[in-house]
Structure 1
Amino acid sequence: MLYLILCFLLGFFNSSLLSLSLSLPPTHLCRPEQSSALLNFKSNLSLSISNCGQELHVPSFLKTDSWDEGTDCCKWEGVACDNKKGNVIGLDLSCSGLSGSLLSNSSLFSLQNLRWLNLAGNYFGNSEIPSEFGKLRSLTYLNLSDTGLTGLVPPEISLLSELVSLDLGQNYPLLFRNHDFNMLVHNLTKLEIMVLDGMNLSLVVPYSFLNLTISLKHLSLSHCYLQGNFPTQVFHLPYLQNIILRRNSNLIGYLPETNWSSPISLLDVSRTKFSKGLPDSIGNLKLLKTLNLEDCVFMGAIRSTLRNLTKITLLDISNNMFQGQIPDVFGNLNDLSFMDFSFNNFSGVFPSSAFNLTSLTYMRCSGNFLKGTLPNNVSGLSYLQVLQLYANLLSGRVPGWLFSLPSLEHLDLSSNKLNGPIDTIQEPHLVRVVDLSQNEIQGTVPSSFFDLMNLTFLDLSFNNLSGNIESCMLVKLRNLRILDLSFNNLLSLTRCSNDVNSTLPMIELFHFSSCNIRRFPSFLNESKSLQILDLSNNQIHGSITKWEAEGWENLGILILSMNFMTSVEQIPGKYLSVVDLRHNSLEGSLPTPPQALHYFLISNNGLVGEIPSKICNLSFLYVLDLSMNKLGGTIPDCFGTFSDQLSMVVLRTVNLNGNQLQGSIPQSLTNCHSLEVLDLGNNNINDTFPYWLGMLPNLKVLVLRSNRFHGDMQNFNGTFSFLEVLDLGNNNINDTFPYWLGTLPNLQVLVLRSNRFHGDMQNFNGTFSFSSLRMIDLSRNKFTGNIQPELFENLKSMKDIPVNKSGPKYMGGDYYQDSVIITLKGLDFKLERILTSFTVIDFSSNHFEGSIPKEVGELNSLIVLNFSQNSLAGNNPPLLGKMAALESLDLSSNKLQGRIPVQLTDLTYLGALNLSHNNLEGQIPLANHFDTFSNDSFDGNSGLCGFPLSKKCGNNQEPESPPSTVADESETTLVWKIAAMGYGSGVVLGLSMGYIVFTTGRPRWLVKMIKRNSQKRRRIHRNGRRKN
C-alpha cells in the first residue's frame, strides 16, 4: 500500500502542475471543434459516484458535470488550454467516475495538441487501448492506470516520443509483447517516469530494460509477472531515484557491487528471487530513504556500511537468509522509522543502540537466534508503536520501561527465554497488545500490570507464573478483548469478596487452561461480549449451579474438560455451539444441552441413567461424544430425526463407546446422511451386524467392538463406499471370512479379532482388492487352512513406504481419534491414535497351516507382523529380510523349521522379535543388532545354538557369551524400548506406542512432556505488521 500511495503522489504531483496550468486565465476562448470533441467524449461515457479505481478507496469527483454546451471549455473542470490559440493541451479527468468503452473512434483522439492526459481511476469496461493514442504525438504525460484496460498494449504507444511520464499500472491483464516493449523503451528517449505496476509483463525479457533511456528517474514494476534475470546495469542509470521491482516472485537478480546510481532514494526488490549478499557499496547511497529486501534469497552478513545511510527511513530485510551478528550501525540512522530484520538467521546480541533511535515507530526482529537481555533503560523510542522480538533466545527480565513508552501499542516478546518476574511498571501508557507467551517468566503478575487500561490483547500463557489474580484487579482492564493465561500451573483466579459487579465488558476470548483455578469464575457471566471460555485442565471442583449458569448471553464455546466437577445443574449460555466437559467427575443424569449446540463432548465421566430423547432435539448437532460413562438403557429410537420429523442431516460423529448400552442399533440412524463416525464399542449391545448402515453415504468409521453382536456377515448387498475403519473385535459373530469387505475401496483398518470366524480363506480373486488396507487383525478366531499368497499381492498400501515431510499424521479428526487394540509379546495394548503410516498384519491364535507365503516379503512398509499361535510349518522365507520398515515380528508357537535366515539381520528398525517355540535349528545370526535380543526371543527351539542362548554351537568351544546389551525384558520394558525408538528416530511403531503412555500409567515426567509438546502451539501475531 505504501507504494501505491507513492505512485499516487507522483501522479498527484504531475497533476498539480497540470492544475496550475488550468488556473491560468486564457486569452482566447476554447476552439469550437475542441469543445464539441470534449462534449462528444463525455456523451459516450456514463457517470457514477463510486470509489476511484480498484486500488485507491477514495470517492470519485464528477468533473465533467461542469461541462456545458455554450460555455468556454477552457474553464471546465479538468481542462487546460494554451494562452495563445485556445487549444486544449491538458485533460485531468482522474477519479471522475467515468465508465464505458474507450473506442478507437473516440473524439478524444482529435485533440492532437494534448500534452497531458490523465484518465486514472475511471473504468473503461475491459476495453483495449486504442491504437489511435499514437496520434497524440505531443503528449508528455499519459496516465491510464487503474482503468480496467485489457488486451495487448498497441505498438503505436511507442510513437509518443515526447513522453516524460507513462503510467499504465494496475490494469491486469493488460499485456506487453516483448517486441512492442523493446520499441517503446527504444523510442521514448525523454522518459523520466515509467509505472507498469500490476500489468502482465510475463512476455517481456528483463534484458529489454537495458534499452531504457538514461533520463529515467522513476521505474516501478511491482507485481507485473516479470521472470528471468534482471540486468544489474539498470541500477547504474545516472538519474535513477526510485526503482520498485517488488512482488515478482520469479524475477532473479542481485545488487551491483559498484557503479550505483548515486541519486537512488527508494530501492524495493521485495518478494522476488534477488539473492547473493548485501554489497558494501550499498553504503554509498547517501540519499537512500527506503530499502526493502523483504522475502528474497539474500544471504551472508549485514554490512557495517549501512551506518552511512543517514537518510534512511525504512529498512526491511526480513524473510531472507542473512546470518551472523547484527552490526551496531544504528547510531547515525536518526531518521529511521521502520526496521524489520525478522525471520533470518541472525545470532549474537542485538545492538542496544537500536533502542535509542528517536524516530523509530516500528521495530521487528522476530524469528532469529538473538541472545542477550533487554536494556535496563532507554533514551529513545518515544515514537515507537510496534516492537516485535518474538521467537528468539532472549533472556533476563521483562523491563518495566517497555510499558511506559508513550507511543507503544503492540509488544510481542513471545517464544524467548525471558525469565524472572516482570518488573513493576512505573508509568503505564497506551499499549494495546502484549504477548509474553512461551517464555520462562516467574513470580506473580505485578499489580501495576492491571493499570494498562488500553490493553485489548494479553497473552502470558506457557510461563511459570504463580500466585493469585483477583477479579477486582482483572476487571480494571475494561478494554480487554482477548486474555490467555493458560499453562501457568501455579496461577489461580479468585473473586474478590467485596466486588459485586466484577466483569470484563469487552472480553471475547478468556483462556485460563492448565492453571490452578479451583472455582468456576461466575463473575464473568455479565460479560456480554464473551464468546470463548476455556478453563480446561484446572482444579475446579463442585458444581455449576443454576444461578451461576445465568447470563453468558453470547458465549459460544465452553471448555471445562479435565477438571473435578461433580455436577452441572445447568449448562451456562443459551446459544452455545461447543460444550466440552470431558474428563471430569460428573455424576447423575446427562445435563440438558442448549438447543443450538454443534459439539456436545461429555466423555470420561460417571454419568448414569438413560440417554434422554431430548438429545434428538439438537437440530444443529455435529458431534456427540458421550463415551466412557455409565449410561444404560437403549439408544433412543429418535436418533436421526427431529421433533418435526426432519432428517438430522448435520450429525457427523456419534461416540457412545464405553457405556452400558443394551438392545439394538436404531435404524433411524439411516436418516443421518452426514454421519461419518459411529462408535458404539464396549457396550452390551445385542444385535446382528447392521448391514443397513451401509446406506449412510458418508460413513467412514464404524466401531462395534466388545459388544454382543452375533450371527453372520454374508447378506451384504453393496454400499459402505467410504468406509475406512471397521472394528468388530471381541464379539460373537459366527461366520466364514466376509470376502465382500475386500471390495470396499477405502477400507484401511479391519479388525475381526476375538470372534467365532472359521473356515478356509481361499477366495481372494475376482473383485477382491483390499488395495487401501493398512491394518488387518484376524487374531483369536478359528480360521483354518493355508494363508493364501493372493491376499498379500493385493495389499498395495503396505508395499510402498510413505514419504511424509510434514511430520506424523494420525487418523481421525479434532473431536474423534481412531483407536485400535494391538498385541505385542502376548499382551494387548490400546493405541489411542493411529498413525496414517502404521501398518499391521495380525493372524495370531488361529489354526492356519502350511508355510508362510513368500509374498509377505514384498510388503515393504509393514510395521507389525504377527503369525504366532498357529500351526505354520516350513522354513522362514528369506524375503522377510526385505521388509525394510518392519519393527515387530512374532512367529512364535508354530512348527517352523530350518535355520533363521541371516537376511533378518538387515531389518534395521526391528525392535521386537519372537521366534520362540518352533523347530528352528542352527546358529543364531549375530550380525548388526541381532545380538540385542534376549533369550526369550529364541526359547523353545531345541536345535538353536549360540548367543544369547547358553547352548554352544558344534565342537567349537566359544568363549563365554558377553552380557546382552538388553537385559531379559519384561513386556513393559519392551513397550518403552519401542516408544523410545520412536521418539528418538521417528520410527512409526515408537510414535504409535508413545500414546500408550496415557492409558497405562507410565512415568509422569514423560506424560507431562508429551502432553505439553502436543498442546503447545506457536501463536504468531501480525497485528502490528505493515500491510502491503
Structure 2
Amino acid sequence: MVYLILCFLLGFFNSSLLSLSLPLPPSHLFHIVSVHTTDSWDEGTDCCKWKGVVCDNKKGNVIGLDPSCSGLIGSLQSNSSLFSLQNLRWLNLARNDFGNSEIPFEFCKLRSLTYLNLSDTGLTGLVPPKIFLLLELVSLDLNLNPLLFSNHDLNMLVHNLTKLETMVLDYMDLSLVVPYSFLNLTISLKHLSLSYCYLQGNFPTQLFHLLYLQNMKLRYNPNLIETRFSKELSDSISHLRHLKTLNLDSCVFMGSIPSALGNLTKITFLDVSGNMFQGQIPDVFGNLNDLSFMDFSSNNFSGVFPPSAFNLTSLTFMDFSSSFLQGTLPNNISGLSYLRELDLSANLLSGKVPGWLFSLPSLEYLNLSFNKLTGPIDPIQEPNLGTIPSSFFELINLTSLDLSSNNLSGNIKSCMLVKLRNLWSLDLSFNNLLSLTRCSNDVNSTLPMIIDFHFSSCNMHLLDLSNNQIHGSITKWKAEGWEGLDILNLSINFLTTVLQIPGKHLSILDLYSNSLQGLLPTPPQELYYFLISNYELDGEILSKICNLSFLSVLDLSKNKLGGTIPDCLGTFSDQLSVVTLRTVNLNGNQLEGSIPQSLTSCQGLEVLDLGNNNINDTFPYWLGTLPHLQVLGPRSNRFHGDIQNFNGTFSFSSLRMIDLSRNEFTGHIPPELFENLKSMKDIPVDKGGPKYMGEDYYHDSVIMTLKGLDFKLERILTLFTVIDFSSNHFKGLAGNFPPSLGKMAALESLDLSSNKLQGRIPVQLTDLTFLGALNLSHNNLEGQIPLANHFDTFSNDSFGGNPGLCGFPLSKKCGNNQEPESPPSTVADESETRLVWKIAAMGYGSGLVLGLSMGYIVFTTGRPHWLVKMIKRNPKKRRRIHRNRSRKN
C-alpha cells in the first residue's frame, strides 16, 4: 500500500525539485513547493497514519486522500498510480497547481468515488464526459478553474449522477450550456452553486422545486434573459423548508418579491441585489430568526421599508441601498443587536434619523447618504452636545459611518469624536447645517485610525492625516486593507520609510515633508498626483515612473535623487498622460545629464522646475513648442553655451516665468526671445479675484530671488511675470539692450544682475509700468540712469556694481558734477511695495483655504469637485467603498 500511495504522488508531475531513489519508473518524480499535508508522508511508516490519508479499518485499503493546499505543482498524468486506487471514495486535490493540464479521463476508473474536489487547481479544457460514469458521486466541486462544459456533457452529468447532492461549478464557462439542461437534476440535490458561469438564456425557475435544496448560488450571471418570478414559482418557494442560502445577485430576475420568503424559516443568507425586482417588499421577515445576511440593494422597488426587517435578532449585514424605498425609519426596534453593517443609502427615506441607530452595540458601518433625512438627530437630551445624541459617541466598534447628502444639523466637537477609537471613515458631507468645532479645553485630540473624513458642503470639506505626529514606517503589513483608497495625504509628519505604498488605485499620494530615507518607492499606476518632496530619498528615478497612465503632477523636489532624468518621461504608457502631465518639479536634487527631449510630447506641460541640480546641458530651446508652458526654471545647474535658435517654431508664447539664473550661459541675449514672450506683453485683466497656477488640491510653487535672498512662493499668481537671467556670462547686444524688452508691458520682475552686459540702459525700460522689481547690478553698464515714469522708484541695489552708471539713485553725478535729482519721497517705495503686497497675496495669504486645528489633525477644503475632474479624465475610475463587504457568496 505504501508503494501505491507514493506512486500516486510521484506520478503527478513532469519536472522535479526533489527526486527520490525508489524502485519506481523514471517518470515518477516528486515536485513540492511548500509541504503542508504531505510532510508526514514517509516511505518507512504506515501510510494509514499519514495526515490526509484515510484507510478502511477492516481491509486496510486507502479510501480517502486529502493533499489539498499542499503547494503541489505540476500536471496530472494519465498514467498516474492514483487511478489504481480502486477503493478510493474520497479525493480532495483542491488549491494545488496542476499547470493548466486537462482532467485525465482515467478518473472514470475510480468507480467508488463519492466525493471529488478539484477546485482551484488550474485545470483547463473540456470536462471529459467519462468522468460522469462515476455513478456514486454525491459531491462534485470543479469551481475556480478555466474549464468548459458542452451542453451534451452537462446533460450526461444530469442524467447519470442521480445521487448527486452537491454540485459547485463557480467561475467555469457554461456559456455553451442551455440553462434548461439543469431541469433534470436529481431531486436529492442540496447544494447548487453556479456563480460567475456566463450562463445565457432563460434560467429555469423550476429549480426552486428541489425540495431538499439548502444552498442555491447563482451570483453574477448578467447575460441571462430576463426571468420573471411567476405565481407558480412564488408558491413553490414556500416548500423550500431546508433552504439556508439563496444568492441571486445580478441575475436579471424580474417581478415581485414573493411573500413566500417568509416561510424560509431556516434561511441564513439572502441576496437578491442587482436585479430588476419591482413593487412593494412584503413585510414577512418576522419569522426569519436565523437570517444573518440580507441584501436587497439595486432594484426597482416602490413603497415603504418593511418594518419587520428591523426586528431580526441574528442579522449582521443589511443592505437596501439604491432601491427607491420611501417613508420614515421606525422609532423603535427590537432586534439588530448583532448588526455590523447597515446601508440604506440612495433611497427616498425622509423624516428624522432615529437615535436607536447610534445605540446598536455591534455596528461598524452605517450609510444613510443620499436620502431626504432631516435633522436634528433624535433624541436631543445631553447638555453641551448640541443636537448630536451621546449614544452616537458610544459606538466604540464603529469603523465607518456615512450620513452624507441629507439635511442633518447640529454641532460635532473634536473631543466627542475621540471616543470612536476604531473609526476610520466618516462622511457627513452635504449636510449644510452640520458644523465641526474644537472643544475649549482640548489640545491633543486625535483619531488614531481615521484615514477618510469628509465634510464637503458642511462647514468643513476633507480630513486627511497631514500635519500630525505620525512616526515610523509604512510597511507591507500596515498597507494591507487600503486597496480602496483614492487619496492618501500623510504630509508633514515624521515617517521614515515607505516599504510599500498603500492602495493600488490611488489618485493622489501626498507624502510632502516627512523624514523619509532610502530609495524612491514605486508609485501605483493610476496616480494623478505623486508628491514626495522634502526628504532624504536617494537612488535614481527609475523608468517605472513612465508607467503612470494618468500622471498630472510629479513633485520629487528637495531629495537626494541622482542619475539622469529618464528618457521616457514624455513617452508614457498611456497617451492620455501626454495631455494630462501638467507639472514636473525635480528642484533640489543631484540629477545629472541633460533634459530629455521626449518632454516635447507632453503638450499639457505648464510648469517645469529643474532648479538646483547638476544638469549639464545647453538651453532647451525645443521646449518652446509646448503651447501651455508657463514656468521654466532650470536655475542653479550647469547649463552653458549661447541662447539661440529662436524662431516662430520655438515661441515660448505662454511663458510667464523664466529663471536661468546661476548657470554658465554665454553670448548675447537674443532679441527674438523677448519678441516671442507674448504672455509678458499683454497686461491681463483681473476678472473675479486672484487665480493661482495649479488645481484645487495641488498649487504650484517656485523659488525666486529678491534683493539677493531666495524665498519660496507657495502659490503662483497666474498674472505674475518674471525674467531672471542673473549670475551668468551674458554680454550686451550690439552695445545696448534689445529694444523688444521694452514692449513687455506685463513684466513685473526683471533680474539681469551679475553678467557682462554693456552699454546704456535703454529708455524703453521706463515703459514697463508694471515692473515692481528690477536688478541690473554687477554688469558693465554705463551712462545716466533714465528717470521717466516710475523708474526713479528703484533703489541703489538695482544698479550697484556698474562703475559706468551715474545719476539717481546712485551717488555718482552725471556730467558737469551735478547732484543726482531725487524724486518725490511720497513715491520712493511705490513699486517695491506693490510687488511685496502681490507676493504676500500670492504666497502667504490663506486664500479660500479654511483650516481648523483639532490637536494635530488638520481639516482642509477642496473635496470632490477636483476628484470629479480626475474621474472624468479616467472613465474607468470609480469611487470605492473603504470596507471589505462580506458578500463572499
TM range (shorter): 0.5 to 0.7
Q: 1:190 to 1:466 in 2, by over 3 A?
A: closer
Give the C-alpha shift of residue 176 in structure 1. 1.1
Give the C-alpha shift of residue 105 in structure 1. 1.3
Residues 466, 492 of structure 1: 8 Å contact kept: no
Q: Are positions 1:258 and 2:229 aligned together? A: no
Q: Are positions 1:288 and 2:271 aligned together? A: no
Corresponding residue number in structure 2 for 1:334: 313
Residues 650, 672 of structure 1: 8 Å contact kept: no
Q: 1:108 to 1:485 in 2, by over 3 A?
A: closer
Matches within 5 A, 1:882-961: none
Q: 1:668 aligns with which of 615, 619, 625?
A: 619
Rounded Cα–Cα distance in structure 2 between residues aligned with 1:243 and 1:360: 24
Give the C-alpha shift of residue 143 in structure 1. 1.3
1:528-571 deviation line (CA, Å, top 9, x unaligned) = 59999xxxxxxxxxxxxxxxxx9754699xxxxxxxxxxxxxx9
Corresponding residue number in structure 2 for 1:245: 218
Rounded Cα–Cα distance in structure 2 between residues aligned with 1:181 and 1:160: 14
Percent identical residues: 43
Q: 1:678 aligns with which of 629, 645, 653?
A: 629
Q: Which amino acid aligns with 1:394?
A: L
Q: 2:112 aligns with which of 135, 138, 149?
A: 138
Give the C-alpha shift of residue 212 in structure 1. 0.6
Q: 1:292 to 1:354 in 2, by over 3 A?
A: farther
Corresponding residue number in structure 1 for 2:883: 1023
Residues 247, 269 of structure 2: 8 Å contact kept: yes
**Higher RCO (C-alpha under 8 Å, 6+ residues apart):** 2
Rounded Cα–Cα distance in structure 1 between residues aligned with 2:867 and 2:494: 28
Give the C-alpha shift of residue 295 in structure 1. 1.8
Residues 311, 334 of structure 2: 8 Å contact kept: no
SS at 2:181 equivalent = helix
SS at 1:299 equivalent = strand
Q: Are positions 1:217 and 2:217 aligned together? A: no
Q: 2:71 aligns with which of 83, 97, 103?
A: 97
Corresponding residue number in structure 2 for 1:277: 256
Q: Which amino acid aligns with 1:351?
A: P
Q: 1:476 aligns with which of 415, 438, 445?
A: 445
Corresponding residue number in structure 2 for 1:170: 144
Give the C-alpha shift of residue 813 in structure 1. 12
Q: 1:551 to 1:38 in 2, by over 3 A?
A: closer
Q: 1:674 to 1:227 in 2, by over 3 A?
A: farther
SS at 2:376 equivalent = strand
Rounded Cα–Cα distance in structure 2 between residues aligned with 1:378 and 1:459: 16
Q: 1:424 to 1:528 in 2, by over 3 A?
A: farther
Q: 1:598 aligns with which of 551, 554, 577?
A: 554
Q: 2:96 aligns with which of 97, 116, 122?
A: 122
Give the C-alpha shift of residue 379 in structure 1. 10
Give the C-alpha shift of residue 153 in structure 1. 0.6
Corresponding residue number in structure 2 for 1:714: none
Q: Which amino acid aligns with 2:144?
A: Q
Matches within 5 A, 1:524-673: 528=495, 552-553=514-515, 573-574=534-535, 598-599=554-555, 644-648=592-596, 652=602, 655=606, 668-670=619-621
Corresponding residue number in structure 2 for 1:868: none
Give the C-alpha shift of residue 381 in structure 1. 2.5
Q: 1:1024 to 1:473 in 2, by over 3 A?
A: farther
Matches within 5 A, 1:101-112: 101-112=75-86
Corresponding residue number in structure 1 for 2:126: 152
SS at 1:304 equivalent = coil
1:132-159 deviation line (CA, Å, top 9, x unaligned) = 1112112111111111111111010111
Residues 623, 650 of structure 2: 8 Å contact kept: no
Rounded Cα–Cα distance in structure 1 between residues aligned with 2:336 and 2:403: 23
The answer for unaligned runs of 5 or more in structure 1 is 1-33, 50-58, 404-418, 494-501, 510-522, 533-549, 557-570, 578-596, 602-615, 624-637, 658-665, 695-700, 712-725, 733-811, 818-831, 833-1003, 1005-1010
Q: Which moved more, 1:316-325 or 1:483-492?
A: 483-492
Q: Which amino acid aligns with 1:206?
A: P
Residues 461, 488 of structure 1: 8 Å contact kept: yes
Corresponding residue number in structure 1 for 2:9: 42
Give the C-alpha shift of residue 341 in structure 1. 0.7
1:338-386 deviation line (CA, Å, top 9, x unaligned) = 2111121111113345574223222111111111112234797222222
Corresponding residue number in structure 2 for 1:505: 470
Q: 1:1020 to 1:289 in 2, by over 3 A?
A: same
Rounded Cα–Cα distance in structure 2 between residues aligned with 1:505 and 1:389: 32
Q: Which amino acid aligns with 2:73?
A: S
Give the C-alpha shift of residue 477 in structure 1. 1.6
Residues 160, 188 of structure 1: 8 Å contact kept: yes
Q: 2:40 aligns with which of 66, 69, 85?
A: 66
Q: Are positions 1:452 and 2:429 aligned together? A: no
Q: Which moved more, 1:435-444 or 1:153-162?
A: 435-444
Rounded Cα–Cα distance in structure 1 between residues aligned with 2:459 and 2:189: 65
Superposed CA RMSD in Å reads 5.4
Q: Are positions 1:343 and 2:317 aligned together? A: no
SS at 2:120 equivalent = coil
Matches within 5 A, 1:486-885: 503-505=468-470, 528=495, 552-553=514-515, 573-574=534-535, 598-599=554-555, 644-648=592-596, 652=602, 655=606, 668-670=619-621, 677-679=628-630, 690-693=647-650, 703=654
Q: 1:181 aligns with which of 133, 144, 154?
A: 154
Rounded Cα–Cα distance in structure 2 between residues aligned with 1:644 and 1:155: 66
Q: Which amino acid aligns with 1:175?
A: L
Q: Are positions 1:196 and 2:169 aligned together? A: yes
Residues 370, 405 of structure 2: 8 Å contact kept: no
Give the C-alpha shift of residue 124 in structure 1. 1.5
Q: 1:234 to 1:356 in 2, by over 3 A?
A: closer
SS at 2:286 equivalent = helix
1:476-513 deviation line (CA, Å, top 9, x unaligned) = 225154365766787799xxxxxxxx95437999xxxx
Residues 218, 240 of structure 1: 8 Å contact kept: yes
Q: Are positions 1:422 and 2:388 aligned together? A: yes
Residues 349, 371 of structure 2: 8 Å contact kept: yes
1:896-951 deviation line (CA, Å, top 9, x unaligned) = xxxxxxxxxxxxxxxxxxxxxxxxxxxxxxxxxxxxxxxxxxxxxxxxxxxxxxxx
Residues 346, 368 of structure 1: 8 Å contact kept: yes
Residues 312, 333 of structure 1: 8 Å contact kept: yes
Q: 1:153 to 1:396 in 2, by over 3 A?
A: same
- Normalised to the residue count of structure 2, the TM-score between the two structures is 0.54
- Normalised to the residue count of structure 1, the TM-score between the two structures is 0.48
Corresponding residue number in structure 2 for 1:407: none
Give the C-alpha shift of residue 76 in structure 1. 3.2
Residues 435, 458 of structure 1: 8 Å contact kept: yes
SS at 1:117 equivalent = strand
Rounded Cα–Cα distance in structure 2 between residues aligned with 1:815 and 1:524: 13
Q: Which amino acid aligns with 2:50?
A: W
1:781-834 deviation line (CA, Å, top 9, x unaligned) = xxxxxxxxxxxxxxxxxxxxxxxxxxxxxxx999899xxxxxxxxxxxxxx9xx
Rounded Cα–Cα distance in structure 2 between residues aligned with 1:491 and 1:63: 56
Residues 443, 466 of structure 1: 8 Å contact kept: yes
Corresponding residue number in structure 2 for 1:848: none
Q: 1:402 to 1:374 in 2, by over 3 A?
A: farther
Residues 353, 375 of structure 2: 8 Å contact kept: yes
Give the C-alpha shift of residue 163 in structure 1. 0.9
Rounded Cα–Cα distance in structure 1 between residues aligned with 2:425 and 2:644: 54
Give the C-alpha shift of residue 677 in structure 1. 3.2
Residues 197, 220 of structure 1: 8 Å contact kept: yes
Give the C-alpha shift of residue 164 in structure 1. 1.0
Q: Which amino acid aligns with 2:124?
A: T
1:956-1002 deviation line (CA, Å, top 9, x unaligned) = xxxxxxxxxxxxxxxxxxxxxxxxxxxxxxxxxxxxxxxxxxxxxxx
Q: Which amino acid aligns with 1:505?
A: I
SS at 1:257 equivalent = helix
